[in-house]
Structure 1
Amino acid sequence: MLQLLSLIPALPMAGFLLLALLGGRFSRRQIAWTGAGSVGMSALITGLVAVAFLRALPETISYRQTWWTWVDTSGLTAGLSWHLDALSLLMALVITGVGLLIHLYSTGYMIEETHQDYRRFFAYMNLFVASMLTLVLADNLLLLYLGWEGVGLCSYLLIGFWYRRPENGAAAQKAFIVTRLGDTAFAMGLFLLFTEFKTLSIQQVQTLAVEAWPIGSGLAIAVAALLLGGAVGKSAQLPLQVWLPDAMAGPTPVSALIHAATMVTAGVYLIARMHSLFTLAPPVQYAVAVIGVLTLLLAACSALVQRDIKRILAYSTISQLGYMFLALGVGAWSAALFHFMTHACFKALLFLAAGAVIVSLHHEQDIFRMGGLRRRLPVTFWTFLIGAAALSGVPLITSGFYSKDWILWSTLSSPLGGPWLWAGAALGTLLTGLYSFRLIFRVFFGEVRTAPHAAPGTAMTLPLIVLAALSLGVGFLELPTTLGDVPLFSRYLAHALPTIEALPGSQGPSEATEQAAVTLASLLGIGLAALFFLRRPGLTEAMAGSAWGRTVSEVWLHGWGFDRFYNLVIVRPWQRLTRGPGDVVDRLYEALAEALRWSHESFSRTQTGRVRWYAMTAAAGALLLMGLFVLR
């Protein structure tokens, strides 16, 4: 079955090509079957490959398959080669599994679109899945970079899917340009790696780097920092997080796919995949943890004051990615990937449930115009509640509790972590419970402000139920020692990623004490949400109406002013520079051409045809050279 590996990315790509080239002749039903069916076949083959791979462990911990040599020039050899190990298989399972559910949901959500847009949507979605699978299964960094740029292109196409609205086109451009900054850093890191090791094979690069570079080496720090730049851009971490909230301009299934299983997790995968390079650069690895904890706190604060249901979930995604970066930064590689898996389930659930609410309310997205929907949309309510509970880390019954607790315990017990990082993450847990249940109470409780016109159909409801079950169940793949000690997930990923050595228990609180603190933070956040937004909403209005409340709300609402700062420092100066006839780059080259033309005309005047003039010039040149030689 392992020989079927190459079909996993090939089938969604085939679906894209069919829809792009022949989709105009397909009916809507055929388009849906092609789009969702190709991803479904990919998910089925991924499952078969997973069964064969798990049976082969631990004798076979990786499998490599090559189609053909793609590039062979100037010492660079890179093929269309696939590498399967515990890490890439996990990513492929999540991408194809969650991607299939989102495609099924989309067949109902996008049904009102025109035939042409319906075809275009599924073509883009299939290309998105194919690009992400290429990224995670690539055996070399050049092929990985191809998938990396592919998801960037698809994000542009899908965020700006409704391109007739200027604001959607602007959001797509913003995502494309901001992530290009990180992509440029990533490309520079690849150039540096190839210059040093003459190969871009992921396995060879890491082996050679460990052999050639000591810990703390300047080259190791430079390469790790450049790779981190790429990860920060794709995973929307500080300071390049500004594109993700505006990415909500795309259809809701696009938001679910970007936020749950594909693009934003690419940075997490990159750092985990290249973990050997980051362990050689301790300052950069520590920077990963600091960026993570700052991002999760800033994004959680912004989520508290948003009015748009999708923007709340967007800031939530940024915050949860911050937890993954924190885990990577303290060396808890498996904990980061466990949270990636649980987050993919409950965040896809939340976005799809939000889409069901939006469709039922005539595409209303303002939570202050919603309310009282728990009885009108019972399935949507209960599935949304499960997703919010998992996001908040409700103890014992949700997957989010187990993955987030693992990250916080690793942060506190790891030699690379510490109490300050843990405190920031614990505060983030409280804020997560607060903004998650603010959303629940605003949308599903209170009086009905906008009456729903219809409940979602089976195509939209079935994925919600499956994702709700996963949001509750997948957490039991890794139970801490205090709650049963079931290390299935960590034992599996140990075949691809190293484990960290925890500090002795005497140097800090016990794991049970830490878990109690995290549980208290989560429940306190939910309790405060019930107090402020359900029991005594007047308290919230009073705080928001005060002078300091208005100021803080304004800052948080606009993402801490990062957009305004970038507009002031970068965008507006560049616009002033380019204002006027022609492009500034064109004018630069035109000036250079004019300077060359002037110098040519000036030197042409020296060609007079007079021999005495030439002799005098040659003599003067000779004297000048002799004088320089003597002075030297």
Structure 2
Amino acid sequence: MIDDITLGYLILLFPLITFVVNGLFLGNKCAKAAAIFAVICNGLAFAAAGTLAFHYFSSDFAPQKAILFDHTFIPFIGDLVARIGMLVDPLSVMMLVVVTFISFMVNIYSIGYMREDRAAGRFFALLSLFSFSMLGLVIATNLFQMFIFWELVGVSSYLLIGFWYHKPSAVSASKQAFILTRFADSFFLLGIVLVSYVVGSFDFSTLNSLSLIDFQKQFINLGLVTIPKSEALVLGSILIFTGGWGKSAMFPMHIWLPNAMEGPTPVSSIIHSATMVVAGVYLVARLFPFFAICDNALTLIMWVGAFTMVFAAVIACTQKDIKRILAYSTLSQLGYMMFALGACKIGQVVAVTGWTASTFHIFTHAFFKCSLFLIAGSLIHQVGTNDLDAMGGLGKKMKLTYACTLISILAISGIPPFSGFFSKDEIILAAFQGHHYVVFGLALLTSGLTTFYMFRLFFLAFHGAPRHEGVKAGHVHEDFAMTLPIAILAIPALLSGVLGKGIFEQFFVPGQLNVPQLVRLDHAEWLPFVAVGIAVVALVIAWVLYASPWAKVQRALDESNRSGIYKVIYHKFYFDEMYYAVVRQFIFGGIARVARAFNDYVIEGLLAFTVWFVHKLGDLVRFAQAGYLPFYLGTLIVGVLLWRFFGQLPL
């Protein structure tokens, strides 16, 4: 039997080998061989992760933490050492299973999706690099290791979003994602430097066991000011959260995520379900005890998540691009996860129910969101457009896809007994138990909006008369390689909630907290009925508007019938336009232009003058050494005159 340490190495090794072999050898010669190799290796990585999870949760050791391997990477000053290791606890084991399983499914799906693409070999190599980067992130034992793989995730996403580099829109989207997340990551890095300087360690175990009381009488000099170390830690927590803020695309750093849909659909699927955007939520969950001791950090996290949740859901109700609807859906669901972590703070005490609910939703969301994106790619592949207005009538042509879509949409809508019901209701309950009643109301509202826009997508795509010539002519069919992973994902989309609830309640706790905790909380047994009732009402509204016998679909799709407020929401409150105006007019046209002018006329001018002056001085010196008699006589006469009018020369 393979021991757990070997399994830990294999989980990382399989996707890394896939990247190297496909990137250097198979990808350039045979795309089909590269695809098969990628599927096999990612399948083996999932098998290793599943075996490790079984060993861990079936042992008496869970839910304790263990480090399978640990190696010194860079020794800094004193006891500050950066290490590379593998942390095993319920949160990391869950993420290992999710990332490897989703990667396995996406690789199978990509065999069909990328079949005609000439660069498919490169695609499979980059996809495995993406998986390797996320796996390295979730097993990190310290902030330094996490940041290394955090940046690898960013580079991988840049390469995959801009995979079709011949498309200007894809190139623009990849640069936008890269620049915006790097902007947030700069604060993350600054927070790591500050916190490690104060504490003297990068390790999560050390940071999560801190108490601010120990640092209140100690001071740190930050250059211009001297502040207590306790305040420096609070500042560091905000800076670290800013990295997750950008990576999980929370408002106002959200605009890169919908635009990232320019990449291949399998990329969208893995980004939204198990890798890049989940990293920010994972960061907050991993450092939850540290954030809990920092005043108002959890409150900030809660409100950022809550606003993003409802903001993205409202926009999703109006979008026509099927992938953008799902992108804004992801933003909204990430808002759920983020605010649940922040809602744990109740005055000066903490209730950990929100932490458990958030991590549970990471788990269930991965399956139905991956499935929905793969379904969207399958529809686009058959119809040739992302536009919902051009779809319709696909239910009769793609029956298995229809059934799987219905399962995933019921899951994200929180309808029992589908998976989303168990995790989303726990999040809403956490807001109620924490007495955050405004956030609680927003969560219920967003739950209804989610059901509405998802069933709007479902009815417009699968029901009604066909609105596309290819569908009318019967050219639509289901590709086996693309439909197989969709069918497999439908199983956890249906069952992961009911099967995982007991495991999460038993094993998933954030660890020892150095703040007062609430143990007993009201269960609010009426809440699931209210949440499901709101979802059912939203479903009925969507059916009446888009699928009922008296629904006027063509009129609903006619842009001339849309009100002014609808157009504002459809254009995402013109936030993208404001962003581009600020970037292009203020930053590029203002600050950058002034900086360039200063560089051109002051810096480069000073350098040019220095070069000219030195050059002329050299000419003068060279001329003085040339033995030219008139020059010597002239300088002698000038010297005599200067001596005559300005004083005598010393003897």
**Is it true that 1:70 corresponds to 2:73 in the alignment?**
yes
Q: Higher mean Cα deviation, 256-265 or 8-17? A: 8-17
Distance 1:226 1:589, change over 3 A: farther
Letter in 1 for 2:76: T
Question: Is the Cα–Cα contact under 8 Å of residues 87 and 496 in structure 1 kept in the other structure?
Answer: no
Structure 2 match to 1:429: 447
Structure 2 match to 1:375: 396
TM-score by length of 1: 0.87
In 2, the alpha carbon distance for the partners of 1:68 and 1:261 equals 27
- Deviation per CA, 1:551-587, whole angstroms, max 9, x where unpaired? 2222222222221222222332222247879956854
Structure 1 match to 2:424: 404
In 2, the alpha carbon distance for the partners of 1:15 and 1:186 equals 30
- 1:488-503 correspondence runs (5 A): 488-494=503-509, 496=511, 501=518
Q: SS of the residue aligned with 1:82?
A: strand
Distance 1:267 1:592, change over 3 A: farther
Letter in 2 for 1:80: I
Q: SS of the residue aligned with 1:56?
A: coil
**Is it true that 1:264 corresponds to 2:290 in the alignment?**
no
Distance 1:13 1:371, change over 3 A: same
For these two proteins, the number of residue pairs brought into alignment is 592
In 2, the alpha carbon distance for the partners of 1:500 and 1:552 equals 45
In 1, the alpha carbon distance for the partners of 2:533 and 2:190 equals 45
- Deviation per CA, 1:380-439, whole angstroms, max 9, x where unpaired? 111111111111111x2211111110000111012xx41111000000001001100000
Question: Is the Cα–Cα contact under 8 Å of residues 216 and 282 in structure 1 kept in the other structure?
Answer: no
The equivalent position to 1:551 in structure 2, one of 559, 564, 579, is 564
Structure 2 match to 1:359: 381
**Is it true that 1:184 corresponds to 2:158 in the alignment?**
no
**Is it true that 1:418 corresponds to 2:436 in the alignment?**
yes
Deviation at residue 293 of structure 1 after TM alignment: 1.3
Letter in 2 for 1:106: S
Letter in 2 for 1:185: F
Distance 1:65 1:595, change over 3 A: farther
In 2, the alpha carbon distance for the partners of 1:335 and 1:319 equals 16
In 1, the alpha carbon distance for the partners of 2:198 and 2:592 equals 42
Question: Is the Cα–Cα contact under 8 Å of residues 208 and 290 in structure 2 kept in the other structure?
Answer: yes
Distance 1:185 1:539, change over 3 A: same
Deviation at residue 133 of structure 1 after TM alignment: 0.4
Identity across matched positions, percent: 33
- Deviation per CA, 1:322-380, whole angstroms, max 9, x where unpaired? 1001111112111001111111000001001111111111x211000000111111011
Structure 1 match to 2:126: 124
- 1:104-253 correspondence runs (5 A): 104-114=108-118, 117-208=119-210, 212-213=214-215, 217-253=230-266
Question: Is the Cα–Cα contact under 8 Å of residues 289 and 510 in structure 2 kept in the other structure?
Answer: no
- 1:251-400 correspondence runs (5 A): 251-331=264-344, 332-361=354-383, 363-394=384-415, 396-400=416-420
Distance 1:26 1:496, change over 3 A: farther
Letter in 2 for 1:400: G
In 1, the alpha carbon distance for the partners of 2:27 and 2:111 equals 17
Q: Higher mean Cα deviation, 460-469 or 575-584? A: 575-584
In 1, the alpha carbon distance for the partners of 2:287 and 2:598 equals 37
In 2, the alpha carbon distance for the partners of 1:151 and 1:512 equals 41
Question: Is the Cα–Cα contact under 8 Å of residues 225 and 284 in structure 1 kept in the other structure?
Answer: yes
Deviation at residue 31 of structure 1 after TM alignment: 0.3
Q: Once superposed, what is the RMSD of the aligned Cα atoms?
A: 3.1
Letter in 2 for 1:455: H
Letter in 2 for 1:86: P
Distance 1:410 1:584, change over 3 A: farther
In 1, the alpha carbon distance for the partners of 2:180 and 2:140 equals 24
In 1, the alpha carbon distance for the partners of 2:557 and 2:267 equals 35
Structure 2 match to 1:630: none
Distance 1:559 1:195, change over 3 A: same
The equivalent position to 2:466 in structure 1, one of 448, 461, 483, is 448
The equivalent position to 1:458 in structure 2, one of 476, 480, 488, is 480
Question: Is the Cα–Cα contact under 8 Å of residues 16 and 124 in structure 1 kept in the other structure?
Answer: yes
Q: SS of the residue aligned with 1:65?
A: strand
Structure 2 match to 1:512: 525
Can you give the 5+ residue segments of structure 2 that lack an aligned partner in the other structure? 217-227, 345-353, 618-638, 644-651
In 1, the alpha carbon distance for the partners of 2:239 and 2:15 equals 31
Letter in 1 for 2:430: S
Deviation at residue 198 of structure 1 after TM alignment: 2.1
Q: SS of the residue aligned with 1:279?
A: helix
Q: SS of the residue aligned with 1:567?
A: helix
Q: Higher mean Cα deviation, 446-455 or 172-181? A: 446-455
In 2, the alpha carbon distance for the partners of 1:55 and 1:48 equals 11
Letter in 2 for 1:125: L
Deviation at residue 534 of structure 1 after TM alignment: 1.9
**Is it true that 1:572 corresponds to 2:585 in the alignment?**
yes
Deviation at residue 232 of structure 1 after TM alignment: 1.1
Structure 2 match to 1:474: 496
Distance 1:236 1:589, change over 3 A: farther
**Is it true that 1:590 corresponds to 2:594 in the alignment?**
no
Question: Is the Cα–Cα contact under 8 Å of residues 12 and 39 in structure 1 kept in the other structure?
Answer: yes
Structure 2 match to 1:620: none
In 2, the alpha carbon distance for the partners of 1:541 and 1:96 equals 44
In 2, the alpha carbon distance for the partners of 1:213 and 1:582 equals 42
Question: Is the Cα–Cα contact under 8 Å of residues 34 and 124 in structure 2 kept in the other structure?
Answer: yes
- Deviation per CA, 1:76-133, whole angstroms, max 9, x where unpaired? 421221111111111111000111111111111111111xx11110111000000000
Deviation at residue 442 of structure 1 after TM alignment: 0.3
In 2, the alpha carbon distance for the partners of 1:303 and 1:454 equals 27
Deviation at residue 221 of structure 1 after TM alignment: 2.3
Letter in 2 for 1:529: A
**Is it true that 1:29 corresponds to 2:50 in the alignment?**
no
Q: Higher mean Cα deviation, 206-215 or 151-160? A: 206-215
Question: Is the Cα–Cα contact under 8 Å of residues 350 and 387 in structure 1 kept in the other structure?
Answer: yes
Structure 1 match to 2:58: 55
Structure 2 match to 1:628: none
Deviation at residue 63 of structure 1 after TM alignment: 1.9
Letter in 2 for 1:501: L
Distance 1:543 1:22, change over 3 A: closer
Question: Is the Cα–Cα contact under 8 Å of residues 86 and 496 in structure 1 kept in the other structure?
Answer: no
Structure 2 match to 1:614: none
Q: SS of the residue aligned with 2:567?
A: helix
Structure 2 match to 1:46: 49
In 2, the alpha carbon distance for the partners of 1:400 and 1:434 equals 15
- For the pair shown, the structure with the greater C-alpha radius of gyration is 2
